[in-house]
Amino acid sequence: MARYHQLYGNPSARKKKIRNRKIFLFTILLLIAIGIAFLFGVYQYVLKTNVWTADGERTEVIIPTGTDYEGIKLIIYSKGIILNRNSFELVSKALKYHENVKPGRYLIDAGMNNLKLVRLLRSGKQSPVQLTFNNMRDVAQLAGRVGAQIELDSVSLVDRLSDTAYLSFLGFNLQTIPALFIPNTYAFYWTTNADNFISRMYQEYKRFWNEERLNKASALGFSPVQVSILASIVDKETNMNDEKQRIAGVYINRLRGGWRLQADPTLVFAAGDFEIRRVLDIHKTIESPYNTYKYTGLPPGPICIPSIASIDAVLNFEKHRFYFFCAKDDLSGYHAFAETYEQHQLNAWRYRQALDRLNIKR
Contact (CB, 8 A) for 143 and 137: no
Q: What is the pLDDT of residue 361?
A: 61
Q: How far is the C-alpha of 255 from the C-alpha of 229, rounded, in Å?
A: 13
Helices (H) and strands (E) in the chain, counts: 15, 6
Main-chain phi, psi angles of 16, to 5 degrees? -65, -40
Sequence letter at residue 88: F
Q: Would you say residue 93 has pLDDT above 80?
A: yes
Q: How far is the C-alpha of 196 from the C-alpha of 168, rounded, in Å?
A: 17
| Residue 292: other Cβ atoms inside 10 A | 27
83-104 average pLDDT score:
94
* DSSP secondary structure letters along 311-322: HHHHHTPPP---
pLDDT digits (tens, 9 = 90+) for 5-60: 554 556 666 666 667 676 666 566 555 555 544 544 554 445 789 998 877 788 99
Contact (CB, 8 A) for 340 and 322: no
Q: What is the pLDDT of residue 24?
A: 62
Averaged pLDDT of the chain: 89
> What's the sign of the alpha-carbon dihedral 261, 266, 267, 268?
positive
Reported as a pLDDT band with limits 50, 70 and 90, residue 103 is very high
Contact (CB, 8 A) for 50 and 59: no
Work out the widest C-alpha separation in the chain, in whole angstroms. Answer: 143
Q: What is the pLDDT of residue 48?
A: 86
* Residue 27: partners with Cβ closer than 8 Å, 6 or more residues away: none
Nearest to 266 by CA among 229, 239, 241, 240: 229
* pTM for the model: 0.83
pLDDT digits (tens, 9 = 90+) for 124-182: 999 999 999 999 999 999 999 999 999 999 999 999 999 999 999 999 999 999 999 99
Reported as a pLDDT band with limits 50, 70 and 90, residue 340 is very high
Q: What is the pLDDT of residue 22?
A: 66
Q: What is the pLDDT of residue 10?
A: 61
Contact (CB, 8 A) for 185 and 145: no
Poorest-pLDDT segment among 7-21, 84-98, 250-264, 344-358: 7-21
> What's the sign of the alpha-carbon dihedral 263, 231, 235, 299?
negative
CA distances from 326 to 23, 68, 145, 189, 343 (A): 102, 59, 32, 44, 11
Sequence letter at residue 52: W
Nearest to 101 by CA among 78, 75, 71, 69: 69
Contact (CB, 8 A) for 150 and 192: yes
Contact (CB, 8 A) for 167 and 174: yes
Please state, for a pLDDT cut of 90, what percent of the chain lies above it.
75
Q: What is the pLDDT of residue 355?
A: 84
Q: What is the 3-state secondary structure (H, E, C) of 218-282?
A: HHHCCCHHHHHHHHHHHHHHCCCHHHHHHHHHHHHHHHHCCCCCCCHHHHHHHHCCCCCCCCCHH
